[in-house]
Amino acid sequence: MSSAREDILDAVRRAQGRGSRDAPTRATLDARITTPVRHLRPAFDEDLTARFIRKLESRSGTIARVDGRAGIPAAVEIFRSAHGLAPRAAVGAGLKDIDWPADWTIHHDRAGIAESLSVSPAFAGIAETGTLMLLASPESPTTHNFVPDNQVIILETTRILRHFEDAWAALRKRTGGMPRAVNLVSGPSRTADIEQTIQLGAHGPRRLHVVLVDSA
């Protein structure tokens, strides 16, 4: 019995009245994969950072802006105390170098079921839609992005890119290729499944707070 794989590929070819593509055609198609076709992108002339902030806020994200990495702990502390959260956080190991307040309980493991606050580093921001790009790794575990009720993301202002395609280009340049998970996050979790009414905090974080770091 032939395999399902061969049967399906055969059926696809037969439906188009042909056999396998010949070598030159295959080479052309492969080149289209290695050198992506550039499509039309939404044009805008707004400042990238201003747009990123405007778009993210329009989707219920909040933003704090600090000068240099030294300002990060204070910004996270303001967010934490404003929402009355316990001084405990799952912090991506990519942010190990930060001087977190001494009275906090910090760990760099994945987020467990009782986790209420996570802090993770973003790989890039995308101005087009106010979207954050997070890459799965021990430095930024994926559970941090979905399990806790409160998600804080650290983003360097210089990492704000114009379009999604610019973020893909940055990914392609990175060593190690495609990460296991790429999470594009554009706000806190939401649903409109009951009577089309938007409700935040469906399954993922109820709050998304971004600390934008300007280089000092």
Partner 1 sequence: MDIRSREFQPRAVAALHDASLQQALDKARDGFVAKRAVQVAELSEFEALRETAKTLKDHVLDHLDHYLERYEAAVVAAGGQVHWARDDAEARRIILDICKRVDARTVTKGKSMVSEEIGLNTALIDAGLTVVETDLGEYIIQLAGEAPSHIIAPAVHKTREQVSDLFEKAHGGPRLTEIADLVDAARLALRERYFQADVGITGGNFLIAETGSSLIVTNEGNGDLTQTLARVHIVTAGIERVVPTLDDATLFLRLLARSATGQETETYTTLSTGPRRAGDLDGPEEYHVVLVDNGRSRMLAGPFRQMLRCIRCGACMNHCPVYGSIGGHAYGWVYPGPMGSVLTPLIKGLDAAYDLPNACTLNGRCASVCPVKIPLPDLLRRLRHEQFKQAITTLRRRRALAAWRLLATRPKLYHAFERLAARALAAIGGRAGRIRRLPGAGGWTEGRDLPAPPGRTFLERWQTERGQS
Q: Within 41-100, which residues bind partner 1 (CB under 8 A)?
A: 41-43, 55, 59
Is 77 in contact with 40 (CB distance < 8 Å)?
Answer: no
* Closest distance of CB 161 from partner 1, Å: 13
How many whole angstroms from its chain centre is CA 215? Answer: 21
Q: Which of 73, 121, 125, 141 binds partner 1 (CB under 8 A)?
A: 141
Q: Which of 1, 84, 175, 196 binds partner 1 (CB under 8 A)?
A: 196
For tokens 């188009």, what's the residue? 16
Cα 209 to Cα 11, 75, 113, 185, 194: the distances in Å are: 50, 10, 20, 11, 26
- Closest to partner 1 by CB, 198 vs 216, is 198
Spatial distance between the Cα atoms of 137 and 38, rounded to a whole number of angstroms: 29
- Closest to partner 1 by CB, 52 vs 66, is 52
- Could you give the residue ranges of the DSSP H alpha helices within 16-71? 23-34, 48-58
- Closest to partner 1 by CB, 13 vs 68, is 13
* Closest distance of CB 216 from partner 1, Å: 31
* Dihedral sign from CA coordinates of 104, 105, 110, 111: negative
**DSSP reduced 3-state for 210:** strand
195 binds partner 1 (CB under 8 A): yes
Q: Which of 70, 74, 199, 214 binds partner 1 (CB under 8 A)?
A: 199
121 binds partner 1 (CB under 8 A): no
Q: How many residues bind partner 1, per CB under 8 A?
A: 78
146 binds partner 1 (CB under 8 A): yes
